[in-house]
Structure formats: C-alpha cells, structure tokens
Amino acid sequence: MAKILFLSNHFITLYAFRKEIIENMCKEGHEVYLSLPKSKDNIYFEKLGCHIIITPIQRKGLNPIKDTLLLGSYIRIMRSIRPDIIFSFTIKPNIYGSIASRLMGLRQICNVTGTGSTFIKKNVLGWICKLLYKGSMKYCYKVFFQNMGDMMFFKENHLVKDRIELLPGSGVNLDEHPYIPLPSSVNLNFIFIGRVMKLKGIDEYLDCARIICRKYRNVSFYIAGWNEETNCMEKVRQAQDEGIVKYLGFVKDINNWIERCHCIIHPAHGGEGISNVLLECAAMGRVCIASDIFGCREIITDNISGYLFEKGNVYDLVSKVERFISLPDKEKKEMALAGRRKVEKEFDRNIVVCKYMNEISDLRNEQ
C-alpha cells in the first residue's frame, strides 16, 4: 500500500471536490495524510482513517515570512512521512509543495484548478507568481490542468515541462446533484452563485438584472455567495434596495436554491479552471448562461445546453437572457436536459477519481 500526502489550503476544497478521491484511496487501504489548516470539520476525514496534519496557510497574497514558514512546514512534513506520492491543489500548495518535494526527492502531482486573477492583472504580483511557478512546478512529476487555455499558457511561458494532462475539472458528483425538472415558468428565476467580486462579473449581473427587470415583470434575480470586495457589496445592497436583486449571502445547501431557479448566470472574467458552479447547475438540469471563456465554454454547448456571451458585454448578456425568456417551456426543458446529458458524459466525477487512482496503480507497478 502507498503513503499518500495531500496538500490543501482549506477543508472545503478537499471535501467539496475531492472527497471521493480520498474515500477511494482509504477503501483500498492506502495510508492517507492531509495537510490543511485547522477546522472542526476535519473530523470528517479523520473518520475515514486519514491522518490530519494541521498546517497554517495564508490563502491570498504573498507574505515572504509566512510563505517561507509554509515551505518549511512542507519540508518537515515530507521528511517525517516520506510519502510515495504527493497531490496538491491551488497556487501555494502547488508552488511551495513542489519546491519542498523537489528538495526531498519525492514525486508530486499538481492540479492547476484555475489561475484566478494572478495572470489576468498585469502587475508585480503576477510577475512574481510566474517566477515562482517556473522555479517550482516546472520540476514536479506531473501537472493536471482543467482547461486547454491554462495548459497552453503554462506551456508557452515555459512554466511546466512535458508531463501534463487535461482533466474534466474536478468533475461533478451526479448523485449529490440530481436532475430535477424545471419549476413552473409563471415566474422565471435567475441566480448568480459565487464570490461577490468584480472578477466574477457581479457588475455585469447587476446591470443585466436592472435592464431585464425594467422590461419584464415575471423575473427574479438572486445572488448567493460571500462578500469578497466591499465596493461590489455596496452595489449589491443598492440593487437590493431598488428591488432588482435579492442577496442570499453564503448558502450552505445551494441545491435548494438551484432547484428553485430556472437559469444560472455566470459572467466571470477569467481565471476559471472548470466552473464547478456551472457543472452543478447543469447536472441539476438548470440552463447555464456564461461568459465565453476557458473554464465555461467547455461545459456549455451554445444554443443547445445554454448560452455563451462575450465576456464583459452586458448587452450581449441581456440578449441571451431575453432569448431564454422567450423560449417555449418545451424548449427550456430540452435545453436543461441537454446540459444534464453533457455533464453525465463528459464531467462525471468518477472520471477524475479514476485518473487519480490510476496514478497510484502506476506507482505501484513501478515499485
């Protein structure tokens, strides 16, 4: 059996998108270690038989002192455990984990779950991150990417070598997100699910809602997600005061709200790996309208399972929303079913689980 180490920046990123991978590894009798910050929820993985290693990590920004301490923590963990293979997700576990595993002569597989704003904004932080990627992940055993855009960017900028592979994002658990028929169309409900911030397109969503509400009476717009940027939150509160949107805050059981809605609008500007929100909504049979960017266009077959619109173009977004509103109920249902069929075929989380389990099998065959 193998010793396996996961490097993560938060309990929820493991639980929401990778618990099936960890469960399968535990069932096969592997010794699984999880490096992640302190959380009362970590008990979930302890009950599976995982060994929890509390590792403080600053998720955002670059702090030389804290990042050096994180690197030191990873080196100590790897020296103590001597894992056969290391899996990491998100920027800091990928970068500092790769440096540590290289120093220790260990095998690490990184997963680029999206670049966020790192390379969208041409600033000093992006330049530093690019250097850190080049000096770390370029030498790790393998890198998984979630979309072709990220893969090509990393290749063209010489941030990785040849051992790369494309995954269908984190996949979606089809049992946890079952298909549910669309609700009555007497009133059409639209929802934005995500962090309230400019990068996620909250401005375009609010502008679209304002335009549509002036023209149609039987529509409602909801926002589910935590406050990430103060100035954006002020715009949300203003729109709510006007009766344009209803802000739900962070919703723990998002399925209940997805079930109430007909369509999700995802106007992100970029930095997506593969949008988990779109996957979950499509799995539940909700029509998706999203920016035509990497991480979204892979999920939506334009005009069949949803609509793609030009990134940042409010008027194009409005036109797609109106096109959906004007569809007969039968065509809305056909579009919803097409989305479900697509994720069943291409984005079932079991596909991702098999990829990870195959890496363990390959490791054992080499030993």
Q: What share of the chain is helix, strand, coil (3-state, %, to 5)?
A: 45, 20, 35
d(CA 77, CA 28) in angstroms, rounded, equals 23
pLDDT score for 134? 85
Spatial distance between the Cα atoms of 94 and 101, rounded to a whole number of angstroms: 10
Buried b vs exposed e over 241-275: b needs ≥16 C-beta within 10 Å? eeebbebeeebeebeebbeebbbbbbbbbbbbbbb
Tell which residue, 172, 191, 198, 160, has the closest CA to residue 275. 172
For residue 135, CA distances in Å to 107, 128, 280, 312 come to: 16, 11, 35, 34
Beta bridge pairs of residue 291: 309
Query: Please, which residues bridge with residue 265 across strands?
Result: 289
Tokens of 298: 């892979």
The closest alpha carbon to 287, from 256, 309, 264, 255, belongs to 264
Delimit the CATH 3.40.50.2000 region(s) of the chain: 3-171+348-366, 188-346
Residues of the chain with pLDDT under 70: 61, 116-123, 367
**Domain 188-346 classification at class level:** alpha beta
Interatomic CA distance for residues 244 and 211, integer angstroms: 9
The confidence score (pLDDT) of residue 231 equals 92
Task: Output the CA angle 18-22-23, nearest 5 degrees.
Answer: 110
Note whether 132 and 316 are within 8 A (CB): no
Cα distances from 116 to residues 40, 98, 170, 199, in angstroms, run 27, 20, 16, 8
Amino acid in position 339? G
Total count of residues recorded for the chain: 367
The pLDDT assigned to 130 comes to 82
Q: Which is nearest to 179 in space by CA: 280, 106, 97, 108?
A: 280
CATH topology of domain 3-171+348-366: Rossmann fold (3.40.50)
Question: What CA–CA distance (Å, rounded) separates 291 from 6?
Answer: 32
Answer left, alpha or beta for residue 106, where phi above 0 means left and psi between -120 and 50 means alpha.
beta
Which H/E stretch holds residue 224? strand 219-224
